[in-house]
Amino acid sequence: MKNIAALLFLTFLTLGNASAQRENVISEESKVPEYKLPDVLTRFNGKKVKSEKVWLKKQRPEILKVFTNEVYGKVPGELGISDVKVWESSEEALGGLARRKQISLFFDKDDRHLEVNVLMYLPKTTEKVPVFLAYNFTGNHAVFNDPAIRLTESWVANNPSVGIINNQVTEQSRASAEDRWPVEEIVKAGYGLVAIYYGDVDPDKNDFSDGIHPFFYQQNQVSPKFNEWGSIAAWAWGLSRVADYLEQDPMVDAKKIAVLGHSRLGKAALWAGAADQRFAMVISNESGCGGAALSRRKFGETVRIINTSFPHWFCDNFLKYNDNEEQLPVDQHQLLALIAPRPLYVASAEGDKWADPRGEFLSAKYASAAYELLGLEGLPAKEMPGINQPVMGTIGYHIRTGKHDLSLYDWQQYIKFADKHFK
Ligand code: GTR
């Protein structure tokens, strides 16, 4: 029952505002316009990138700057963790299989305070463990059926069918997203799961008076400047702050953090991985437009559609590219190239046309040039692999059967990919 309710809610989220604009949406390959992608190894001044040094010192920073100013927006200042509170820890989670730890990270500036709750399940070993770090959509209590998990007190989008009323969760909300988080499999495979709720950092609504954004406002400022961060960059910033904490946690191997996200949170994971090279692995689960998918294909969700449905996700400069993707100095394969040389996994689903699976695959394929320049195998597939036939080089990719979701199958591939690169 809970699952059906959660599915209806997600369908609502996905169809939401965008449905009105879907009439002209491209959903057949034959309708994709001709397009020319910027080459990953050609600089904006036209010169070719031929060495690792030029990639690292020139091309990578230049591409990063364009994504910062034109797409996601720059973080306007610095703010570290003011305080850490440990709520509880237990050696008896999952029937004694795992450690559970719940902490809060506090951020303070002037009279503003922000609290980010972190839930961790870790394998019980004396060694530091590699972890998957991932945002969830409705709070940590939704991730796993464990009465010890604190209910989030943050604003959450209403969904009465899982007990979210007046933007507050209730006991009924517990474990409502458990299908997405195979905690036991993750822990048994030797990985920790570090779960955070994205709304702790910035509630997902077109309102810049809440979350982290106002911490950096100058006098009388009420929203970020045209080249400053939208919500995706704020969520990415939050992932980096959690990484700051993980670097101090004696149980975690902070050199092995795989940052993972589904859908809009996949966009945030990719941007976090691009902007912060401490993330040793990046996993994009069906991140689509503004994530792994190529914008110039205009297949499924387009720049105009996403900017209209979610005006708060990107920086205001990104509006210039509504129906004007060709003028974007970059495309999303260059975002993926920014992850090099670190392992990157891009996943699609057959039933998730909105996210343009082929555009996600091609993006991963064209990002490979950066990996190859650095002496690594990029994506070991020239053509799109068949359904449920994952490929794994330093870039991994799969398209699975099923709908837009984060499934056990997806996790099984991510665990294999982590085994390949972390063990
Ligand atoms: C959709 C949006 C997508 C994707 C998805 C999600 O409505 O169009 O870009 O982010 O939401 O996050 O579930």
Average pLDDT over the chain reads 95
Neighbouring-strand partners of residue 380: none
- Residue 311 and residue 314: Cα distance in Å, rounded? 7
Residue 272 lies inside a defined structural domain of this protein:
no
Residues 128 and 53 in one domain: no
- Residue 423 and residue 418: Cα distance in Å, rounded? 7
Q: Is the CB of 263 under 6 A from ligand 1?
A: yes
- Residue 419 and residue 390: Cα distance in Å, rounded? 15
Residue 267 lies inside a defined structural domain of this protein:
no
C-alpha of residue 246 to centroid of ligand 1, in Å:
28
C-alpha of residue 264 to centroid of ligand 1, in Å:
5
Residue 167 lies inside a defined structural domain of this protein:
yes
Confidence (pLDDT) at 1 = 40
Q: Tokens 């400053």 appear where?
A: 228
Query: What ligand 1 atom has the least distance to the C-alpha of 289?
Result: 9
Residue 273 lies inside a defined structural domain of this protein:
no
Res 10 pLDDT > 70? no
Domain boundary pick from 261, 296, 321: 261
Residue 367 lies inside a defined structural domain of this protein:
yes
Q: Is the CB of 331 under 6 A from ligand 1?
A: no
Range of the domain at 65: 1-72+280-423
Residue 268 lies inside a defined structural domain of this protein:
no
Residues 333-388 have pLDDT tens digits of 999 999 999 999 999 999 999 999 999 999 999 999 999 999 999 999 999 999 99
Q: Could you tell me the pLDDT band of residue 21, with boundaries at 50, 70 and 90?
A: low
Residues 118 and 104 in one domain: yes
Percentage of the chain surpassing pLDDT 70? 95
Residue 349 lies inside a defined structural domain of this protein:
yes
Residue 91 lies inside a defined structural domain of this protein:
yes
State the amino acid at position 166 in one-letter form: N
Residue in 213, 262, 398, 404 annotated catalytic: 404
Question: In Å, how far are 108, 267, 318, 348 from 332, measured between CA atoms?
Answer: 34, 10, 13, 15
Residues 163 and 173 in one domain: yes
Residues 384-418 have pLDDT tens digits of 999 999 999 999 999 999 999 999 999 999 999 99
Q: Tokens 């891009």 appear where?
A: 346
Confidence (pLDDT) at 15 = 47
C-alpha of residue 239 to centroid of ligand 1, in Å:
19
Q: Is the CB of 264 under 6 A from ligand 1?
A: yes
Residues 141 and 46 in one domain: no
Query: Which of 7, 8, 11, 13 to mutate for ligand 1's pocket (most ligand atoms within 8 Å of CB)?
Result: 13
Query: Which of 270, 310, 403 to mutate for ligand 1's pocket (most ligand atoms within 8 Å of CB)?
Result: 310
Residues 89 and 229 in one domain: yes
Domain boundary pick from 261, 290, 313: 261
Residues 88 and 213 in one domain: yes
Query: Which of 263, 295, 304, 405 to mutate for ligand 1's pocket (most ligand atoms within 8 Å of CB)?
Result: 263
Residues 234 and 195 in one domain: yes
Q: Is the CB of 289 under 6 A from ligand 1?
A: yes
Residues 93 and 13 in one domain: no
| Residue of the CA atom closest to atom 10 of ligand 1 | 264
C-alpha of residue 53 to centroid of ligand 1, in Å:
37
pTM listed for this prediction:
0.95
Q: Is the CB of 352 under 6 A from ligand 1?
A: no
Domain boundary pick from 261, 295, 326: 261
SS3 letters across the chain: CHHHHHHHHHHHHHHCHHHHHHHHCECCHHHCCCCCCCCCCECCCCCECCCHHHHHHHHHHHHHHHHHHHHHCECCCCCCCCEEEEEEEEEEHHHHCEEEEEEEEEEEECCEEEEEEEEEEEECCCCCEEEEEEEECCCHHHCCCCCCCCCCCCCCCCEHHHCEECCECCHHHCCCCHHHCCHHHHHHCCCEEEEEEHHHHCCCCCCCCCCCHHHHCCCCCCCCCCCECCHHHHHHHHHHHHHHHHCCCCCEEEEEEEEEEECHHHHHHHHHHHHCCCCCEEEEECCCCCCCCCHHHCECCCHHHHHHHCCCCCCHHHHHHCCCHHHCCCCHHHHHHCCCCCCEEEEEECCCHHHCHHHHHHHHHHHHHHHHHCCCCCCCCCCCCCCCCCEECCEEEEEECCCCCCCHHHHHHHHHHHHHHHC
Residues 101 and 244 in one domain: yes
| Residue of the CA atom closest to atom 12 of ligand 1 | 264
Confidence (pLDDT) at 2 = 45
Res 6 pLDDT > 60? no
Interacting residues of 61 by C-beta distance below 8 A, sequence separation 6+: none
Residues 7 and 119 in one domain: no
Residues 199 and 310 in one domain: no
Residue 312 annotated in active site: no
| Residue of the CA atom closest to atom 7 of ligand 1 | 14
Residue in 154, 173, 176, 263 annotated catalytic: 263
Q: Is the CB of 288 under 6 A from ligand 1?
A: yes
Number of domains in the chain: 2
Residue 404 annotated in active site: yes
The total number of residues shown for the chain amounts to 423
User: Cβ distance 269 to 50 under 8 Å?
Assistant: no
Residues 133 and 213 in one domain: yes
Residues 215-266 have pLDDT tens digits of 999 999 999 999 999 999 999 999 999 999 999 999 999 999 999 999 999 9
